[in-house]
Chains A and B, each alone.
Chain A
Amino acid sequence: MPSRTGAGSGRSLPEFGLLLLVIFVLLEGSLLPLGAASSTSKSCEEAKQGHTEVHNFTKKAFPVLGVDYGHIKNPFEISLWVLLACLMKLGFHLIPRLSSIVPESCLLIVVGLLVGGLIKLAREEVPPVLDSKFFFLYLLPPIILDAGYFLPIRPFMENLGTILMFAVIGTLWNAFFIGGLLYGICQISNSDLTAIGILPCLLFGSIISAVDPVAVLAVFEEIHINELLHILVFGESLLNDAVTVVLYHLFEEFSVDGSVTVLDGILGVISFLVVALGGVLFGAMYGFLAALTSRFTSHTRVIEPLFAFLYSYMAYLSAEVFHLSGIMALIACGAVMRPYIEANISHKSHTTIKYFLKMLSSVSETLIFIFLGVATVDGRHSWNWIFVTMSVVLCLVARVIGVVGLTFIINKFRIVKLTTKDQFIIAYGGLRGAIAFSLGFLLKEDHFHMRDMFLTAIITVIFFTVFVQGMTIKPLVELLAVKKKQEAKRSINEEIHTQFLDHLLTGIEDICGHYGHHHWKDKLNRFNKKYVKKFLIVSERSKEPQLIAFYHKMEMKQAIQLVESGGGSKLPSAVPSTVSMQNIQPKNPPATTKPAERVLPQLSKGREEEIRKILRSNLQRTRQRLHSYNRHTLVADPYEDGFSDLILKKQRMMAIDKKIKEMTNYLTVPAAAPDSPTMVRARLASGRNTDFIPAQQQKGNKKPSDPQSYNMKPVSGGVPTIQVDLASPQSPDSVRLLDELGEADGKEQEKDQGLTMKLPGGSSRPNKPGETENTREQQKLTRCLSDPGPSADEDEDEPFLP
């Protein structure tokens, strides 16, 4: 009989299935041999089967309803597990306050324990869920890739020395300290522990000494610690993998053989280098391959994200083939490919990668913790008080001593010294997790008769660290007032100054004739820019300086935020605080008495910003309609080539066009001939409408407008106007919107190069003269702008803000 492991996860489905069956029974008569099928509780799959087979019914003997659970058993159970994990995760965040007190990892382990207990009660045989193979091949890679791909490179590289110190020396110290002392304790104690040799003890030490990235991530993401501490602990947990792998294999080998020579020790050191560097090499290789591939995907955008995943998974597997550090390979791959891939692929693909990684890793993480709980119930335990308590105590002691000792050394070299508080958090954040458990699980029973005891001790240590440390670290962080992460997003000024500082320090070093850290970094950057980028990034984007890329990204983010947050109704409240400052800048040039021709573009600048924001938030309605995903838009969309400068300008153009159209619609310009869709498209495509919009005289509208009254509702009195300044001397194809404020009527707009549209003023006075002054071309423009026919088409074509 099929067993339903996920208790309560789909209770309504069988009932629904039964209902379906009953309906069929009524329809087809009572001939069908349904007796067996309808009596028991079946999953909905059966119902579906029944549903389809009823139609095939020809002969009496034909089994209308068959049960073949074995057929779908594996995928079904896997799906159930994943579903359970997701529902649990969902549930925790629905319960208020619970998630703020207890870390998710703890809750998940508890759930795992409960589920394991239920299974054990139900049928006494628990599936070997946390199978090491399954864990290392499927559960771990997504988490590590996620960590590697989003690794904050800059702080990581700046603290690489410290991280390596902790990861390599610290882990070695931990392993030998724990292993050695445990051996001593085992010898002293007069129980059966004396039978354990030194090598198994060291093996145990090497398993238990590594800080676990999964556990660290789960806890540290919730406490929002400052970047330095986060990267130190997290980086350590990632990089100690190589040490763990080598130590593990070394001791496993030795324990089986039973003898160690000096040569073995030397080989171990070499092996460590090979494992670590080989992993990195594999990762970097696949990373470059991924970057290179992404260079050519511009025509098949849909599969772009897949490349990123596949190459990194291949890197992981390839590294594992040679027993190299798969984690290092993944980290290297993610870190190497990210900058190039991001430059190459479309924004949508990038979002896809981001979401997919986050989704996969979060599901994996949830599953890992649940499985940890299940496996705890499942496993055979042999509880030995001395061994277990000593391993917990030794873990803590070794960690504290290791961190304090290493910090003492490291602080001699560091500029930003690690304070006592920092040391405490680093020591306290050394959580152990599922990797240790899986490694312990991998031990073979025939060689290690004490495997069960090891596993019990490992689980205890994991539970201790995850529950006790994981739950108390948050209050402790608050108590010690450890510096938290600044939530504020990076501002453009900070970016400018970060880069400025880089160049400044490089320059000073050069002046001093000292080739230091900055000098080499600069050299590397140059090399990257000169050769690597050219090779790996689609031509036109490879030259884009970092600052500009950053600016575009930020601008995009702002736009998206506005589009997402500002509904049409919220507009007035959303705008005011920003609007008033937008006006600051336009005023700038006149005050500082700049050349006259500069006045125009600068004037329009701030205004443009403001209006663009309004436009974007107003456009939300149309955009939302477009969010229905069309498979073809990905391929056909010409605007998908990232958001280079040109595209951005085009988009601005389109937004303004749309706005103008809306406004003209609102004005109810009569008799809009349903022609010229091509014209609209052509104009949109060309990105500049100078050809279509002629000079437009504008006289009547001199009223200064309050920017806040600039909304779609008719406002009597204030009549804001937008001037599309089409030929600003500095950037001919960029659109400048200009508010004709007070100074505009002072110096008459002798250039006459802008189209001026007027908002509906209701019955307000200046509106009419403006309307009547329309020239022939103006009418043409309005016609094509307010044309209702092609606008639908156009909406389809238009890229929504990604």
Chain B
Amino acid sequence: MYFLHKRCYRNAVKPVCEQKSLLPLNIQPQTEKCSFPVFFLFLVVEQVKHTPTCVLPLRCRKENLENIPALAENPIKNQIIEAFFDKRNQHGNEVGSFQEIGFEQFVMVMSHFRPPNLKTTKEEKQEMRKEKLRFLFNMHDTDGDGIITLQEYRKVVEELLSNSGAMDQDAAHEIADAAMLEVASTNVPQMSPEDHYEGITFQHFEQILKDLEMETRMFIRFLDVDTTTMHCGKATS
């Protein structure tokens, strides 16, 4: 049973946030409570004893995330976990994947889930939308070549359907094929029979999802999380 103290926030989270001038999610220095879930995770996954002084050195490996029980039934569990260890999601230009991530990387990934607010301008929204779409795109594009091939897309659909019991692969493939066809037909309407569509590029990806208001849908917010009632025992057991 670990409880978090506000001191943790002051000592660890705030410096990181300020140093990187980044306000992931609702983590804002003045509303200290909001940041705890993220923070809290690192205690959970590392299963360390209550160490309020320093959190930064804590590292998280894939196994840590895989052991989260609530995640077990998520059909796209693997992709989610991959996303956290993907260097492309770190707002840098690196590619590849981490072996383990620290708090900073974690927050970087989580920053993709910021909601827009009333003050965000149109350009910022556009930027935000692009960023979110890029995150999704990276989740699909497993080999990182900038193209979602049919193979990769099929895998996405397959995983999406994977928790529905003994679902046949055919249906998944059929849907992925139809979806792919749709992408191709909306983006490259005229193609001679000899041409072929290699896969979804990011531009095409943006194009097909332009009706999906990603900037307003892809967000997570932490309402009042009462840190005194949250305890780690349940999650870690």
Contacts and interface: CB of A to CB of B under 8 A. Distances in A.
A679 interface: no
Contacts of B199: 592
Contacts of B70: 510, 519
A146 B84 CA distance: 45
A501 B228 CA distance: 30
A590 B44 CA distance: 47
Contacts of B211: 486, 488, 491, 494
A606 interface: yes
A329 B101 CA distance: 52
Contact of A584 (B118, B197, B232): B197
A587 interface: yes
A492 B175 contact: yes
Interface in A641-674: 645
A474 to B, nearest CB: 23
Nearest to B132: A501
Contacts of A415: 115-116, 216, 219, 221
B212 interface: yes
A469 interface: no
Contacts of B134: none
Contact of A500 (B160, B168, B193, B220): B160
A501 B191 CA distance: 31
Interface string B162-181: 00110111110111011111
A486 B179 CA distance: 20
A581 B74 contact: no
Contact of A511 (B80, B150, B169, B179): B80
Contacts of B174: 551
Contacts of B116: 415
A505 B218 contact: yes
B5 interface: no
Which of under 10, 10 to 19, 20 to 34, or 35 or more describes the interface residues of A? 35 or more
Q: Chain A interface secondary structure, helix, strand, loop or mixed?
A: helix
A503 B194 CA distance: 38
A497 B136 contact: yes
Contacts of B190: 577, 580-581
A492 B179 contact: yes
B13 interface: no
Interface stretch (B14-22, B34-42, B50-58, B88-96): B34-42
Interface in B180-222: 180-186, 188-199, 208-209, 211-212, 216-222
**Interface-central residue, B117, B179, B225, by most chain A CB under 10 Å:** B179
Contacts of A578: 185
B82 to A, nearest CB: 11
Interface string A550-569: 01000100000000000000
B103 interface: no
Given A585-B150, A587-B194, A411 B118 contact: yes
Contacts of A586: 196
A494 B156 contact: no
Contacts of A503: 74-76, 80, 160
Contact of B197 (A419, A543, A587, A707): A587
A581 B181 contact: yes
A478 B190 CA distance: 34
B23 interface: no
A585 B195 contact: no
A460 to B, nearest CB: 38
B48 interface: no
A411 B79 CA distance: 34
Nearest to A490: B211
Contacts of A545: 161, 164, 167
A514 interface: yes
Contacts of B219: 415
Contact of A555 (B117, B178, B180): B178
A503 B110 CA distance: 15
Contact of B149 (A500, A592, A609, A704): A592
A3 interface: no
A553 to B, nearest CB: 12
A127 interface: no
Given A580-B192, A730-B170, A493 B198 contact: no
Interface string A131-144: 00000000000000
B209 to A, nearest CB: 6
Interface in A664-715: 704, 706-707
B55 to A, nearest CB: 15
Nearest to B113: A508
A513 B169 contact: no
A492 B178 contact: yes
B220 A498 contact: no
Contacts of B194: 583, 587
B182 A492 contact: yes
B230 A513 contact: yes
Contact of A547 (B74, B170, B175, B181): B175
A731 B139 CA distance: 28
A496 B179 contact: yes
A168 B32 CA distance: 33
A421 interface: no
Interface in A571-594: 577-578, 580-592, 594
B223 A516 contact: yes
B196 A587 contact: yes
Contacts of A577: 189-190
Nearest to A742: B194
A416 interface: yes
Given A516-B221, A547-B161, A511 B191 contact: no
B196 A501 contact: no
A514 B235 CA distance: 10
B61 interface: no
A583 B191 contact: yes
Nearest to A591: B196
Interface in B64-88: 65, 68, 70-71, 73-77, 79-80, 84
Given A415-B216, A417-B117, A555-B178, A584 B184 contact: yes
A509 interface: yes
Contacts of B180: 585, 588
Contacts of B218: 501, 504-505
Contact of B80 (A508, A551, A584, A731): A508
Given A503-B160, A510-B74, A555-B178, A730 B173 contact: yes
Across the A-B interface, give the 6 residue pairs with the lowest CB-CB distance, nearest first.
A587-B196, A510-B70, A583-B193, A584-B197, A581-B185, A545-B164
22 contacts: A417-B117, A492-B179, A496-B156, A496-B179, A497-B136, A498-B212, A501-B217, A503-B76, A503-B160, A505-B218, A508-B113, A511-B80, A516-B221, A543-B165, A580-B193, A581-B189, A584-B184, A585-B150, A585-B196, A587-B197, A606-B181, A730-B169
